[in-house]
A = this chain, B = another copy of it.
Amino acid sequence: MKKLLFQLDTDPIPSAFDIVTAYDAGAHHVVSYAGIAPDQVQGLVHGCIFTRGGEDLRHTAIWIGGRDIAAGEQVLDVVTKSFFGDFRVSVMLDSNGANTTAATAVAQLIRAVDVREGTVVVAAGTGPVGIRTAGLFAREGARVIVTSPLRDQLERASELVKARFGAEIVTRYVENGDVDGYRTLLADARVLFGAGPAGVRLVPETAWQESAGLEAVVDLNLAPPSGIEGVSTGDAGKERAGKRCFGAIGVGHPKMKLHKACIASLFERKDLVLDIAEIYAAARGL
């Protein structure tokens, strides 16, 4: 029986990245749907759950992708609500790679640094990756500070982390590139994590390199300039100014491994729902 992966992509064209990765993870056929809106989902799910019986349903799985993770979350919600009783297949949400990226980066950090009761600063952390990163660190026992130059996003970020992870975080308004602002925050932080948009400089070198307690720095920005000055995209634990540094490509390789491992796991059972918590558990196990 063929392993069929139904790709529900909320973008106008389905992600080629996700298709190649799915084949390399062992899917026999990727069936791609683009521009998927919530009202189209139930019929597709019925097509998935009513065609194979019993345990054979583990050979069908659903992947939710696209750039807009809020749209992806709505799709996931309809997918899981369309299941009932034994009529279900495994499903994974990874819109914009946010889940696998956040899970990989935090899992890498946790191995390098003991964050329990330490402070983690997630710079420009009000977007999808930032929210997930903040929540995962908070669940690991860290005191988390999310910064942003957008005042109105800070409260929302705090609420999202609470709703999704049941964890409390602290938020701080900081302008991008504000040396004094970041230096003060980083004075007693153990981890600095840059989760801002591509090509935006968040934290200058002088704001973090002299922080005595800082042990690790992550920057997920692939396009120059880096979000955190001084971190290189290829860094994968490299020591700079005495801190272990991780860049976008350094995180990208294990992210790809996690992505494939998660897809492969979809076909082992028929009842997996892989969102950030489950994907993080998989990242910790790799």
Contact = CB atoms under 8 A, between A and B. Distances in A.
Contact of A19 (B21, B23, B31, B256): B31
Nearest to A36: B13
A33 interface: yes
A2 to B, nearest CB: 5
Contacts of A99: none
Nearest to A11: B43
A24 B47 contact: no
A151 B206 CA distance: 68
B17 A51 contact: yes
A176 interface: no
B16 A43 contact: yes
A47 B16 contact: yes
Interface in A16-56: 16-21, 23-24, 29-33, 36, 40, 43-48, 50-52
Contacts of A2: 23-24
Contact of A31 (B16, B33, B43, B50): B16
Given A29-B29, A31-B32, A32-B31, A20 B44 contact: no
A57 to B, nearest CB: 10
A21 B4 CA distance: 11
A208 interface: no
A18 to B, nearest CB: 8
A6 interface: yes
Interface in A62-84: none
A83 to B, nearest CB: 14
A47 B4 contact: no
A1 interface: yes
B32 A20 contact: no
Contacts of A13: 33, 36, 40, 43-44
A16 B44 contact: yes
A108 to B, nearest CB: 19
A161 to B, nearest CB: 30
A6 B16 contact: yes
A143 B16 CA distance: 46
A20 B4 contact: yes
Given A13-B44, A16-B44, A20-B60, 10 more contacts: A4-B19, A15-B47, A16-B43, A16-B45, A17-B46, A17-B47, A19-B47, A20-B48, A20-B51, A30-B31
